[in-house]
Amino acid sequence: MESNNSFLVLFLAPVREYLEDDSISEILINGPQQIFIERGGKLEEVPAKFVSEPALKAAATNIAKSVGRILDEMHPRLDARLPDGSRVHAVIPPLSRVGTVIAIRKFKKDTLTIDKMLSFGSMDEDTVKLIRALVALHKNVIVSGATSSGKTSVLNAVSSFITDRERVLVIEDASELQLQQRHIVSFETRKADKNGQGEVTIRDLIHSALRLRPDRLVIGEIRGGEALDLLQALNTGHAGSMSTIHANSPEDCLRRIETCALLSGIDIPLAALRSQVASAIDAVIHTARLSDGSRKVVAIAEVLPLDKGEYRVRELMTWKTESVAADGTVAGRFEPGEPPTFAKEAHVVGVELPFGW
Ligand SMILES: Nc1ncnc2c1ncn2[C@@H]1O[C@H](COP(=O)(O)OP(=O)(O)OP(=O)(O)O)[C@@H](O)[C@H]1O
Ligand SMILES: [Mg+2]
């Protein structure tokens, strides 16, 4: 048995085989009678069942207990990371109408390296060259995409181009990134305890990080007001920082950062905020999960200065789908766009760019 998942296996015996199968990335339990798994990017229903709703609910409350949390009438939702790195979200009735609902995102022991992404066709050599150049030139990069499109995996791969000479401060809600450099200092947020005390947010950790002399900041995901703190940090130094955000396109990524910054509650005129976004963010790497379940970097865009108060981007690379087979398999290619405005800068410092730019 994989010791990695032993913790969950203890409570979730009916789905044991899926917990132990490394080809399965997620297990989705919708009440005792219906269970789906995700394998190779695709969802499938499996025959496994729990004997009853009380048995399933007991499993969920035991998982909560084992990580020092409560799941009951008063606390009907659980968001937890288990010691093995898996992420578990659970909701119990009556909030969930189908019985206890549990979603497990299994921890991937072997992270997706650039080489693996190349072999999966998630990017090509030119895309890698462009990403390497963005990191080497200390551009601030946001990886955007839909839920589960591969943002965190791409951020992890992008971060692999950071050199060992730099001091990198990593801040996450639940530690997923696996930076391998010599000088990494990682932080994880903390939820409030059952009395509502002791919460430490991404914003708090950004404040600490800025006092710890970072060369670069790597923030797992921007979801709220911390966007403003990050923008201010990026506009006052710390070039070469990176993060992810949920968005539908590179332009949408900039609008989402703006929306998140507004959630900070700090009053800042919209025009000023927009120019902060446009000057802080240099490039957006957009990811997507295609109809065949494959995940790809589908666009890399450079962020240009505002034009009459609106965001503008220049597409440096885009994925063009050329055909979709009957079984959903997607074929296409990565196409060059316009050369980046930093092409000259790259030549001066000897950083290689793709597409003969
Ligand atoms: N290029 C890829 N090829 C194959 N599988 C991938 C690829 N990228 C990510 N995955 C797998 O897809 C799942 C989701 O990936 P990841 O966590 O990186 O996505 P995400 O967009 O950050 O998700 P979330 O929205 O939950 O933060 C993981 O199981 C991961 O291993
Ligand atoms: Mg993620």
Q: What is the mean pLDDT of residues 43-68?
A: 94
pLDDT, one tens digit per residue, over 251-282 is 999 999 999 999 999 999 999 999 999 999 99
Helix %, strand %, coil % for the chain, to 5? 30, 30, 40
Residue with token string 């990134």: 177
Q: Which residue has the higher pLDDT, 175 or 213?
A: 213
Average pLDDT for residues 133-159, to the nearest whole number?
96
Please state the atom number of ligand 1 nearest to the C-alpha of residue 108: 31
Residue 161 domain-assigned? yes
37 and 127 belong to one structural domain = no
Check pocket membership of 147 for ligand 1, CB cut-off 6 A. yes
CATH number, domain with residue 49: 3.30.450.90
- At residue 223, the pLDDT reads 96
**Residue 84 and residue 171 share a domain:** no
In a domain, 328, yes or no: yes
pLDDT of residue 165: 95
Q: For the segment 93-138, what is each residue's pLDDT rounded down to a tens digit?
A: 999 999 999 999 988 777 789 999 999 999 999 999 999 999 999 9
Q: Ligand 1 pocket check: which of 79, 142, 223, 295 to mutate, most ligand atoms within 8 Å of Cβ? A: 295
Whichever domain contains 189, its CATH number is 3.40.50.300
Instruction: Give me the number of domains the chain comprises.
Output: 2
Q: For residue 94, is the peptide bond before it cis, meaning its omega torsion is within 30 degrees of 0? A: yes
Residues 160 and 240 in one domain: yes
What's the CA angle centered on 84, arms 96 and 21, to 5 degrees? 80
338 or 193, which is more confident:
338
Query: Do residues 181 and 299 both lie within one domain?
Result: yes
Domain-terminating residue out of 105, 138, 161: 105
Ligand nearest to the Cα of 87, by number: 1
Given 48, 74, 105, the domain boundary residue is 105
List the residue whose alpha carbon is closest to atom 19 of ligand 1.
Answer: 150
Measured in Å, residue 136 CA sits from the centre of ligand 2 at 23
Residues 96, 149 within the same domain: no
Q: How far apart are CA 170 and CA 263, in angstroms?
A: 22
Closest listed ligand to the CA of 153: 1
Query: How far does residue 99's CA lie from ligand 2's centre (Å)?
Result: 27
Confidence (pLDDT) at 41:
76
Same domain as 321, residue 229 = yes
Ligand 1 pocket, residue 148 CB under 6 Å = yes
Higher pLDDT: 194 or 324? It is 324
Q: Which domain holds residue 87?
A: 3-105
Which numbered atom of ligand 1 lies nearest the CA of 244? 22
Are both 72 and 191 inside the same structural domain? no
Name which residue sits closest to atom 29 of ligand 1, judged by CA: 25
Residues 64 and 165 both lie in one domain: no
As a whole number, mean pLDDT of residues 165-190 equals 93
153 lines ligand 1 (CB under 6 A): yes
Clarify whether residues 226 and 145 are in a common domain. yes
Q: Tell me whether residue 262 is in a domain.
A: yes
Q: What's the whole-number average pLDDT of the chain?
A: 93
Least confidently predicted of 9-18, 26-35, 90-99, 343-352:
9-18
Return the ligand number nearest the Cα of 287.
1
Q: Which atom from ligand 1 is nearest to the alpha carbon of 153? A: 18
For residue 146, give the ligand nearest its CA. 1
Cα gap 265→249, rounded to integer Å = 25
pLDDT at 1: 35
In a domain? residue 354: no
**pLDDT of the residue at 82:** 79
Identify whether residues 180 and 92 lie together within a single domain: no
Kindly give the distance from the C-alpha atom of residue 188 to the centroid of ligand 1, in angstroms, as a whole number.
Answer: 20
Nearest Cα residue to atom 3 of ligand 1: 295
Q: Which ligand is nearest to the CA of 149?
A: 1
Taking residues 209-235, what's their average pLDDT? 96
Residue 5 pLDDT class (50, 70, 90 cuts):
low
CA of 154 to the centre of ligand 1 (A): 8
What pLDDT was estimated at residue 6? 65
Q: Is 340 in the pocket of ligand 1 (CB under 6 A)?
A: no
Whether 253 and 311 have beta carbons less than 8 Å apart is answered as no
pLDDT at residue 85, rounded to an integer: 81
pLDDT score, position 14: 95
CA distances for 83 relative to 63, 170, 186, 344, angstroms: 11, 19, 17, 47
pLDDT at 138: 97
Mean pLDDT of all residues in 331-350: 96
**Of the residues 55, 87, 105, the one at which a domain ends:** 105
Instruction: Looking at the structure, tell me whether residues 53 and 127 fall in a common domain.
Output: no
In 40-86 the beta strands, taken as DSSP E runs, fall at: 42-46, 77-81
Report yes or no on 48 lying in a domain: yes
Same domain? For 226 and 343 the reply is: yes
Pocket test of ligand 1: the residue of 25, 152, 286 to mutate, having most ligand atoms within 8 Å of its CB, is 152
The answer to whether position 357 is within a domain reads no
With a pLDDT cut of 90, the percent of the chain lying above it is 82
Is any ligand 1 atom within 6 A of the Cβ of residue 178? no
In-domain check, residue 356? no
Reported pTM: 0.87
- Ligand 2 geometric centre to CA of 186 (Å): 16
